[in-house]
């Protein structure tokens, strides 16, 4: 009875202590604690399996050395033969008398306990390794995305090469030429896998002004909170999520942070799509709170994410084998060539376009972050076509000062029988704009619901 209580205490002490201390201690101290506990409890196993005679116990005590002086090979020795001096490799045999029959019950109890202890130590070791991986060292594994070709990836390959997404892939691949050279250069400099430079193809199709239902914007589809976290400015005049260069640098930092958390690039891609919080909750819902790769979680992922990762892997397969899929004649567009100039005057891009005799659309494409096509107050680094810098600087004083248009809004309370269509017609707007202003996913309305609408008057009104 005493032995059973002691064994239960050992198991509870190991499991509870390890799990509680894991997140509180320095990783190196934590692993040292694990080794210490393992050695101490290996001594308990000697008592259970082969009790040591008093004389032998005294001999062991006199010859023992600090644990820190013992090498890893000695820590793996069996209870019957323990090397106590690593320099001399001298072994002391712990001869035990024959166990009485009553010890069988204790022995049978200790074996499953040891298995449970080993299980908890394995988890602790795996989590320690995971924590250690957060100190990112650029290795070949870190720079490589595991390329899996299973039925899910093959299905996305078929959709992109001969299915409904074929035209999307072709146009996105062509647009990639405008931005990917810069992205690839920065990926290499950061030590990230080069294939990540294709991520905007499935995120935005390499379009700078793509706006999603989740309010994600730009080439890398940043939502406002994540964009702000990684240094992208958003105000009345600019939204740096729209700037390919600035958003690329933010995306690189975000991807590096996700890799420090998950340590697996396919899982990183999943977290990039649906959010790291969602993926962490899925991981914690497992029986074991770690994972080997994305496919361990595939069936639990949101449907959009479970397609997102295979679609990315399918994209890599295609761009690396363009001839195989009949795309060998598709050529990417050339990057935009430009030079930069500092402007301290708040002017409209249209005035600049007339000054340098270039199409307005060219300036818009070079400076997509300008929300109202107006430069912000203060000094702004403007991108302009090559060879136009001197013309602009000598004529900037002739360009009139501009200010952003002040939007006016109306507020409408929905009445019985009204629909989005009738309300849009009354205010001279569109259903899509009403949905955008009010974050409506569908067309359903409730009586008494107040809608924010683009109004014609300068004073907001409330229609009853």
Q: How many CB atoms lie within 10 A of CB 302?
A: 15
What is the Cα–Cα distance from 297 to 307, expressed in whole angstroms? 13
Structure token pair of residue 88: 């001399």
Intrachain domains 151-319 and 409-463 with the same fold:
no
Domain boundaries, the chain: 2-132, 151-319, 338-398, 409-463
Kind of pairing between the strands at 380-385 and 90-93 = unpaired
pLDDT tens, per residue, the chain with 464 residues: 555 555 555 555 555 555 555 555 555 566 666 666 665 555 444 443 444 444 443 443 333 334 333 333 333 333 333 333 444 444 444 444 444 444 444 334 444 444 444 444 444 444 434 443 344 333 445 678 888 889 999 999 999 999 999 999 999 999 999 999 999 999 999 999 999 999 999 999 999 998 887 889 999 999 999 999 999 999 989 999 999 999 999 999 999 999 998 888 998 999 999 898 888 888 877 765 555 567 777 778 888 888 999 999 999 999 999 999 999 999 999 998 899 999 999 999 999 999 999 999 999 999 999 998 999 999 999 999 999 999 999 999 999 998 776 556 778 888 888 999 899 888 888 888 888 888 887 888 888 888 888 765 433 333 33
Reduced to 3 states, what is the DSSP secondary structure of residue 343? strand
Is the distance from CB of 192 to CB of 257 less than 8 angstroms?
no
* Active site residue ranges: 203
What is the Cα–Cα distance from 175 to 168, expressed in whole angstroms? 11
CATH of domain 338-398: 3.10.350.10
C-alpha dihedral (132, 136, 140, 141), degrees to nearest 10: 50
Q: Which helix (H) or strand (E) holds 128?
A: helix 103-132
- The pTM is what? 0.61
The CATH architecture one would assign to domain 151-319 is Orthogonal Bundle (1.10)
Is the distance from CB of 94 to CB of 53 less than 8 angstroms?
no
The rounded radius of gyration (Å) of the Cα atoms in the chain is: 33
Top CATH class, 409-463: alpha beta
C-alpha dihedral (161, 163, 167, 171), degrees to nearest 10: -40
- Residue 146 makes CB contacts below 8 A (sequence gap 6+) with 264, 265, 266, 293
How many distinct helices (H) and strands (E) make up the chain? 18, 7
């Amino acid at each position: 009875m005493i032995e059973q209580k002691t064994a239960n205490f050992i198991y509870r002490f190991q499991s509870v202590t390890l799990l509680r201390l894991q997140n509180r201690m320095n990783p190196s101290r934590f692993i040292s604690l694990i080794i210490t506990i393992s050695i101490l409890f290996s001594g308990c196993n000697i008592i259970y399996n082969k009790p040591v005679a008093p004389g032998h116990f005294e001999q062991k005590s006199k010859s023992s050395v600090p644990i820190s002086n013992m090498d890893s090979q000695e820590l793996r020795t069996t209870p019957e033969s323990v090397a106590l001096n690593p320099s001399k490799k001298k072994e002391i045999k712990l001869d035990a008398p024959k166990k009485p029959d009553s010890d069988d019950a204790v022995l049978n109890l200790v074996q499953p306990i040891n298995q449970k202890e080993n299980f908890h130590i394995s988890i602790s070791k795996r989590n320690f390794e995971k924590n250690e991986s957060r100190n990112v060292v650029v290795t070949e594994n870190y720079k490589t995305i595991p390329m899996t070709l299973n039925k899910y990836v093959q299905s996305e390959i078929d959709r992109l090469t001969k299915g409904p997404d074929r035209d999307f892939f072709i146009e996105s691949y062509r647009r990639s030429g405008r931005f990917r050279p810069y992205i690839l250069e920065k990926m290499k400099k950061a030590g990230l896998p080069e294939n990540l430079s294709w991520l905007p193809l499935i995120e935005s199709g390499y379009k700078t002004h793509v706006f999603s239902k989740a309010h994600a914007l730009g080439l890398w589809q940043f939502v406002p909170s994540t964009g702000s976290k990684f240094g992208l400015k958003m105000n009345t005049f600019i939204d740096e999520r729209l700037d390919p260069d600035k958003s690329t640098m933010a995306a690189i930092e975000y991807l590096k942070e996700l890799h420090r958390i998950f340590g697996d690039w396919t899982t990183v891609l999943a977290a990039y799509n649906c959010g790291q919080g969602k993926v962490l909750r899925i991981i914690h819902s497992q029986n074991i709170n770690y994972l080997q790769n994305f496919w361990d979680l595939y069936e639990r992922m949101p449907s959009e994410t479970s397609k997102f990762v295979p679609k990315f892997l399918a994209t890599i397969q295609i761009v690396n084998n363009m001839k195989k899929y009949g795309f060998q004649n598709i050529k990417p567009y050339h990057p935009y060539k430009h030079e930069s100039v500092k402007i301290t005057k708040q002017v409209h891009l249209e005035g600049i376009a007339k000054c340098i005799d270039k199409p307005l659309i060219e300036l818009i494409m070079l400076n997509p972050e300008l929300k109202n096509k107006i430069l912000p107050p203060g000094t702004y680094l403007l991108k302009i076509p090559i060879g136009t810098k001197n013309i602009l600087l000598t004529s900037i004083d002739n360009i009139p000062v501009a200010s952003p248009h002040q939007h006016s809004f109306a507020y409408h309370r929905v009445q019985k029988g009204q629909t989005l269509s009738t309300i849009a017609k009354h205010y001279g707007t569109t259903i899509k704009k009403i949905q955008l202003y009010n974050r409506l996913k569908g067309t359903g309305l409730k009586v008494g619901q107040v809608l924010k609408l683009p109004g014609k008057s300068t004073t907001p009104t409330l229609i009853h």
